[in-house]
């Protein structure tokens, strides 16, 4: 016969209070042993062989070894912009030394090379930052060498327009402040515009393909005519209002027909227009506090196109009013577009300017964005300005 055991028939041995205390004491002792072992291992790992304390890594450097090399800046300077170049270079050297950098190297631009070759040589020599000291042309030439590299550009504005510095919210009047940002600021990656033009040669019937970069704007038509009509002497005397004089001289020019292809290949929008000027911009602010393209940003991976088509003086008044109000809605005289690529084909050769410098008449031009290709120094804690918030 089977015997059934109930739960009441099974009883566990009782654990006394003394047994619990004994178990607790053993656990505490075990934790103390483990802690001691861990501390001993850490102490041995921090010591060298033989139980001696491991010296700091600087102790391994020979006593006669030179100290670590200081950072060095290279300055690409347009000597024609300054009356006392020696004093200028002395101020820059003092500023670099005050920030704990080595004495800078100076590279003077020439008529044959406005700064691209000098900046490329500075990169090859190992400069930690390359500064552009001159007008917008010098900045663009230096950027052409630095785009696509890991070397940052410092902006030391000294020209009439200082367009890139204006669009990035950098100081325009204090050389010392600009140097401090170039040496101690943070790196900001910005877009670069790539331009390919079918340039009219001196013979007129021949074509020459040329490649450029631009940082602010490339303009065709009236925009380029303004730059060509503004003398260097007048710009040196009165600054940016010299461009107003150039604009008034060319206000009554004729419109030209152009086919503008907008967008990447395979997704183009084609616009046939009669234009007075066509501008492709990487950022939107120009001289005089005017924001020509309020939606343009220098780091959005896009270029912004602007077609202006006024036919009369009254038309120019209406266009100017829209630009001052930063209106971007569609209008028969003003057309805004944003894309990664623009192709302009005028019915006859038109003058073209890049960041304020004329390059001559072209049969056609293609502008494409090169996203985040250039590193520019910005003040720590300062973001790029949003031009759409400008009044």
Same domain, 151 and 293: no
User: Is 15 within the bounds of a domain?
Assistant: no
User: Is 203 within the bounds of a domain?
Assistant: yes
Contacts (Cβ under 8 Å, ≥6 apart) of 136: 159, 160, 161, 162, 163, 164, 216, 355, 356, 357
Total number of domains constituting the chain: 2
Same domain, 145 and 208: no
DSSP for 176-202, please give it: HHHHHHHHH-EEEEEEEEEEEEEEE-T
136-146 vs 116-124: helix crossing angle, rounded to 10: 40
Same domain, 122 and 210: no
Q: What is the pLDDT of residues 248-265, one digit of tens each?
A: 455 566 899 999 999 998
Boundary of a domain, candidates 142, 161, 185: 185
In terms of pLDDT, which residue wins out, 325 or 201?
201
pTM: 0.76
Mean pLDDT of 32-36: 70
User: Is 51 within the bounds of a domain?
Assistant: no
User: Is 19 within the bounds of a domain?
Assistant: no
Distance, in Å, from the CA atom of 233 to the CA atom of 82, rounded to the nearest integer, reads: 14
Same domain, 234 and 350: yes
Same domain, 153 and 238: no
Helix, coil or strand: residue 15: coil
User: Is 68 within the bounds of a domain?
Assistant: no
Across 265-279, 280-294, 359-373, least confident range: 280-294
Residue 1 has a pLDDT of 42
Same domain, 81 and 138: yes
User: Is 28 within the bounds of a domain?
Assistant: no
Contacts (Cβ under 8 Å, ≥6 apart) of 232: none
Q: Are 296 and 283 in contact (CB under 8 A)?
A: yes
Percentage of the chain exceeding pLDDT 70: 72
Residue 18 has a pLDDT of 72
Same domain, 355 and 212: yes
Distance set, CA 74 to CA 93, 175, 381 (Å): 11, 15, 25
User: Is 32 within the bounds of a domain?
Assistant: no
Same domain, 167 and 221: no
CATH at residue 290: 2.60.200.40
Residue 73 has a pLDDT of 98
User: Is 170 within the bounds of a domain?
Assistant: yes
Could you tell me the two tokens for 22? 């004994």
Boundary of a domain, candidates 138, 164, 185: 185
Across 215-229, 290-304, 315-329, least confident range: 315-329
Contacts (Cβ under 8 Å, ≥6 apart) of 150: 375
In terms of pLDDT, which residue wins out, 148 or 34?
148
Would the pLDDT of 133 be above 50?
A: yes
Where residue 45 falls among pLDDT bands split at 50, 70, 90?
A: low
Residue 201 has a pLDDT of 81
Mean pLDDT of 77-94: 95
Q: What is the pLDDT of residues 142-197, one digit of tens each?
A: 999 999 999 999 999 887 778 999 999 999 989 999 999 999 999 999 999 999 99
Residue 387 has a pLDDT of 65
Residue 68 has a pLDDT of 76
Contacts (Cβ under 8 Å, ≥6 apart) of 166: 172, 285, 287
Helix, coil or strand: residue 114: coil
Tell me what the pLDDT averaged over the chain comes to.
Answer: 82
Would the pLDDT of 391 be above 80?
A: no
Boundary of a domain, candidates 185, 217, 248: 185
160 closest CA partner among 242, 246, 77: 242
- Local structure of residue 310 (DSSP, 8 states): -
Where residue 354 falls among pLDDT bands split at 50, 70, 90?
A: very high
Residue 131 has a pLDDT of 98
343 closest CA partner among 273, 259, 272, 275: 259
Same domain, 202 and 113: no
Same domain, 211 and 359: yes
The domain in which residue 265 lies consists of 193-372
Residue spans of beta strands (DSSP E) within the chain: 73-77, 105-108, 129-134, 152-157, 186-200, 207-214, 217-221, 256-262, 269-275, 277-281, 303-308, 334-339, 341-346, 350-354, 357-378
Same domain, 221 and 248: yes
Same domain, 268 and 329: yes
Residue 79 has a pLDDT of 95
Q: What is the pLDDT of residues 11-27, one digit of tens each?
A: 444 556 676 677 777 77
CATH at residue 165: 3.40.50.10330
């Amino acid at each position: 016969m089977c015997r059934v055991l109930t739960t009441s028939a099974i009883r566990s041995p009782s654990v006394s209070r003394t047994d619990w205390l004994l178990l607790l004491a053993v656990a505490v002792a075990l934790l103390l042993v483990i802690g001691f072992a861990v501390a001993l291992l850490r102490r041995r790992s921090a010591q060298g062989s033989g139980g001696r304390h491991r010296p700091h890594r600087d102790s391994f450097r020979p006593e006669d070894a030179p100290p670590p090399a200081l950072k060095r800046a290279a300055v690409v300077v347009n000597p024609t912009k300054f009356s006392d170049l020696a004093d200028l270079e002395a101020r820059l050297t003092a500023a670099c030394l005050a920030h704990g950098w080595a004495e800078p190297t100076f590279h003077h631009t020439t008529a044959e090379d406005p700064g691209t070759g000098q900046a490329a040589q500075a990169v090859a020599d190992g400069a930690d930052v390359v500064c552009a000291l001159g007008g917008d042309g010098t900045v663009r030439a230096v950027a052409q060498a630095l785009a696509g590299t890991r070397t940052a550009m410092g902006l030391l504005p000294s020209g009439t327009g200082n367009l890139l510095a204006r669009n990035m919210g950098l100081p325009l009047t204090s050389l010392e402040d600009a140097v401090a940002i170039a040496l101690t600021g943070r790196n900001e990656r910005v877009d670069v515009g790539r331009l390919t033009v079918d340039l009219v040669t001196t013979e007129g019937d021949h074509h020459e393909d040329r490649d450029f970069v631009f940082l602010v704007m490339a303009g065709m038509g009236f925009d380029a005519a303004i730059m060509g009509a503004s003398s260097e002497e007048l710009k040196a005397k009165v600054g940016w209002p010299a461009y107003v004089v150039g604009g008034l001289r060319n206000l009554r020019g004729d419109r030209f027909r152009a086919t503008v292809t907008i967008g990447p290949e395979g997704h183009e929008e084609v616009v046939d227009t009669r234009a007075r000027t066509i501008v492709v911009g990487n950022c939107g602010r120009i001289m005089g506090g005017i924001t020509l393209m309020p939606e343009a940003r220098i780091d959005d991976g896009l270029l912004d196109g602007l077609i202006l088509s006024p036919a009369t003086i009254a038309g120019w008044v209406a266009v100017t009013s829209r630009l001052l109000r930063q209106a971007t809605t569609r209008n028969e005289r003003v057309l805004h577009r944003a894309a990664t690529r623009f192709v302009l084909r005028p019915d006859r050769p038109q003058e073209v300017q890049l960041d304020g410098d004329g390059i001559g008449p072209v049969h056609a031009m293609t502008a494409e964005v090169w996203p985040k290709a250039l590193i520019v120094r910005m003040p720590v804690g300062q973001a790029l300005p949003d031009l759409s918030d400008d009044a």
